[in-house]
Structure 1
Amino acid sequence: MQLNHALAPYASHSQDSLGRLFSTSDSPTRSEFQRDRDRIIHSNAFRRLKHKTQVFLHHEGNHFRTRLTHTLEVSQIARSIARALNLNEDLAECLALAHDLGHTPFGHAGERVLHGRMKEYGGFDHNVQAMRIVTSLENRYAEHDGLNLTWETLEGIIKHNGPLTDANGLPIGRYQTDGLPFGVKQIPAIADLRLDSYASLEAQAAAIADDVAYNAHDIDDALRAGLLTLDQLRDVALVGEIVREVQDKYPTVSADRQSHETIRRLITRTIEDVIDFAAQNIKSFSPQSPEDIRTAGRALIGFSPEMAAKEKELKSFLFANVYRSERVMVPVIQGEKIVGSLFDTFNNGEPMSGDWEQLANSNPIGGRERVVCDFVSGMTDPYATSTFNRLFDADVDFR
């Protein structure tokens, strides 16, 4: 089904996809990227995001973001950016929905612990773990492992934050210190994922949508939790100017409404900045095909330099006042203990549930350590907590 007639020439056209590792019949009602989206949404890993931490643990209130609601917000923003730039909305949405599939229980705290435990075995990286999930660990089909996603979707998942290597295959960026994570060079795909090139504009849209979403909703959740007040934000780059606008225009409305108005304007302003700056980059670079995007040598979608500077200051403020606050750090430390203890216990021989123990005993690539890592990283916060309580006769209760 061809639905890409209005797309820009440098957008990802589904009819031009390199295809899937395992051939499938065409769908009469959906494009290839729509099929990828649906496969992701129906996966177990996607549903588990409902019970995985974003910043505040799920028990603290029904209105705090979880990893799932964060993902849905990223998807909406990615589609908005893609539509404004005449890109493929379906691929942008698909990549946004998949971008956090590899996250551990208890957010980045769990990731840090597993990376430490796995450092001698190729480390742990949530982007690469998302690839393991969609290519190997999700087994919903009779004929093959994984979800059998298109090349473009796999490329976008692994490279939405930029290239992983230079032209000589040497790790760059955040992979330069520890090297490429386990399995990244053996990802099963129909063609080379070209780790030294940039991904599609749709992947770049999903990546910046992630930043837009969590900056806004982390402020919103921190205000709701009482960790921040609007007055504290008045002098913070980016959001401060919006707070002053809202308080000056609506001085008599409740603080809650002022907060919602502030967040709404923050999202709008940052999205508009991304769209305007990307349009300028695209016009200046004048790409004529998706291949031009991959070989551009830099990302074309992102914040403008002025917005990037403000956003960096905002991140520093949130790190100091929210992410490292006692309210957040106490459960983070407990989560680290749970993830580390579970990994150590299962790695030392405690039987895992389901088929995991059988897999660990089958001499798999990566050894028992990697199977244990896959098992623990896939846990939800409640399942990890209940398993910890059972194994250690503990009474941790985040409810």
Structure 2
Amino acid sequence: MTPTTSWERLISKKRFETTDNRYSSDESVRGEFQRDYDRIVFSSAFRRLQNKTQVMPMPESDFVHTRLTHSLEASVVGRSLGRIVGKSILERYPELTGDKNIQEADFGDIVAAACLSHDIGNPPFGHSGEDAISAYLLSEEAQPFLTNLTDAQKADLQRFEGNAAGFRVLTYTYPAHCKLPDGVSHSGLALTFTTLATFTKYPKESLPEVKGTKNTSEKKYGFFQTEKTWFDTIAQELGLLGKGADDQVFYHRHPLAFLVEAADDICYRIIDFEDGLRLGLVPHQQGIALLRQILNDDPNRVSSLTFYDWREEIGYLRARIIGKLIQETSQIFLQHEDAILTGTYDKPLINELACKPVLDEIKSLSIELIYRNKPVLEIEAAGFEVLGGLLDACMKAAFRQESKHHRKIADLIPQHYLKLPEGASDYERIIHITDYVTSLTDQAALGLYRKIKGIELPRMY
């Protein structure tokens, strides 16, 4: 008989690492999953996304999206996907509305909260930042710090993953002795198990690396060695289906993680492309023609709207396209629900959209004209050097401190990243340094690099 999981276990209001009665509430006012969403909104890590790269690093235009606006838009799309799916799931399994008291809105709130936080662990300068961290920790300069690490710990660092850093941001509990800055909690965000599992698009540790896999959930990893026991606890509580050997923390996705992936895919395919059009990187006639193809309108259709310029039409097309893709994607999920619950479906939902060839063309054009635009590449290259330089300085400050220079650098790092409990391993020390570097915004990383390299002096007044 094929193993399966059940919605009854998958939707849980149990919270991460807390029994504090402060977390009980009148759900008629605010549901538990809405509380997850609200906690993410008020977290300092979420606020910092306003100054982290989405498409254009450190954009000068007010219009261009940052990680913050991208995350907000993805959460709106995710909420709609979740509610549409939730309505049908509750019709199929009416027992969920009984003792479990699961509502249609709960599905929307879970997916929206996971979407809202899906980039919360990303370092400065986007994916180039991840590459910079990995490259430094693969370099000869870093090897003396890695001698006591296991293969899995090295894999965490040398294939650094923003998704795993995000899971850590949402769950890490600082020791009681740490003096933390305003806005940082000792107990993390204490989110529900279901929201944390839905956030985790890659429910596996860094090893084994599954090379050449066609399964979307195996292409990356979702948590560091420091959090793998916790993820294992969450997965077992929710009844996620296991993969791999018994000693590996390796699971099939929570079904709602497919909706998080879809919301992100829809937003970055369509809205990043819109940014490129508005910035003049993509010829607007070519871009509008592609967007119209997605809608596949009747050629004889006559619109009652009048557009004053092509920018207005782009906004109108984008709104209609997102609505169309939400409806189609949710139906694809529901068609494959049984396969998702048994772990036999593992690919992006948008791959089955009728308009996939057009979306692929948009993706190719975006890579060519937006992501490989010369200013973008120049700033990403500079960001690569900035993060490598910061990591090198911070690692030497954390491990050596044999010179005044290293000690001065250590004084610049917030002390809760350096003052670890007695007996902390080298791996934990390095993870805390990467915590600090990934927490920085693009501007903060660049400013700190300039100051410690003597390129720019701080203003005294």
- Quick one: distance in 1 between partners of 2:257 and 2:377? 32
Residue 289 of structure 1 is matched in structure 2 by none
Amino acid at match of 2:117: A
Residue 170 of structure 2 is matched in structure 1 by 134
Amino acid at match of 1:90: D
- Quick one: distance in 2 between partners of 1:68 and 1:361? 33
- Quick one: distance in 2 between partners of 1:46 and 1:152? 19
- Quick one: distance in 2 between partners of 1:94 and 1:177? 23
Per-residue deviation, 1:370: 2.0
Per-residue deviation, 1:171: 4.3
Residues 88-167 of structure 1 mapped to structure 2, 5 A cutoff: 88-119=107-138, 121=154, 122-123=156-157, 124-136=160-172, 145-158=187-200, 160=201, 162-164=202-204
How far does the alpha carbon of each residue in 1:70-127 deviate from its partner, in whole angstroms, 9 at most, with x for none?
0000000001111112251111111111111101111111111112223563221111
Residue 191 of structure 1 is matched in structure 2 by 233
Residue 353 of structure 1 is matched in structure 2 by 413
Q: Does structure 1 residue 53 correspond to structure 2 residue 53?
A: yes
Residues 261-340 of structure 1 mapped to structure 2, 5 A cutoff: 261-282=316-337, 285=338, 293-299=340-346, 302-303=349-350, 304=352, 306-340=354-388
- Quick one: distance in 2 between partners of 1:316 and 1:143? 42
**Pick aligned residue for 2:283 from 229, 235, 240:** 229
Secondary structure of 1:191's aligned partner: helix
Q: Does structure 1 residue 206 correspond to structure 2 residue 260?
A: yes
Per-residue deviation, 1:336: 1.3
Pair 187,232 (structure 1): closer, same or farther in 2 beyond 3 Å: farther
- Quick one: distance in 2 between partners of 1:224 and 1:114? 32
- Quick one: distance in 1 between partners of 2:231 and 2:183? 17
Contact 1:17–1:152 (CA<8 Å) still a contact in 2? yes
Per-residue deviation, 1:170: 4.3
Mean Cα deviation higher: 248-257 or 114-123: 248-257
Amino acid at match of 1:77: V
How far does the alpha carbon of each residue in 1:110-147 deviate from its partner, in whole angstroms, 9 at most, with x for none?
11111222356322111110111111167789995322
- Quick one: distance in 1 between partners of 2:294 and 2:78? 25
Contact 1:134–1:147 (CA<8 Å) still a contact in 2? yes
* TM-score after normalising by structure 1: 0.81
Structure 2: runs of 5+ lacking an equivalent: 1-5, 87-103, 139-145, 147-153, 175-179, 241-248, 398-408
Contact 1:171–1:180 (CA<8 Å) still a contact in 2? no
- Quick one: distance in 2 between partners of 1:183 and 1:75? 28
- Structure with bigger gyration radius: 2
- Quick one: distance in 1 between partners of 2:423 and 2:365? 47
Contact 2:252–2:343 (CA<8 Å) still a contact in 1? yes
RMSD: 3.6
Pair 315,184 (structure 1): closer, same or farther in 2 beyond 3 Å: farther
- State the percentage of identical aligned residues: 24
- Quick one: distance in 2 between partners of 1:363 and 1:386? 33
Amino acid at match of 1:107: G
- Quick one: distance in 2 between partners of 1:273 and 1:43? 33
Pair 256,355 (structure 1): closer, same or farther in 2 beyond 3 Å: same
Mean Cα deviation higher: 122-131 or 186-195: 186-195
Amino acid at match of 1:325: N
Amino acid at match of 1:368: R
- Quick one: distance in 2 between partners of 1:261 and 1:335? 35
Pair 345,278 (structure 1): closer, same or farther in 2 beyond 3 Å: same
Residue 392 of structure 1 is matched in structure 2 by 453
Structure 1: runs of 5+ lacking an equivalent: 1-8, 286-291
- Quick one: distance in 1 between partners of 2:118 and 2:367? 22
Q: How many residues align?
A: 374
**Pick aligned residue for 1:27 from 25, 46, 49:** 25
* TM-score after normalising by structure 2: 0.71
Mean Cα deviation higher: 129-138 or 352-361: 352-361
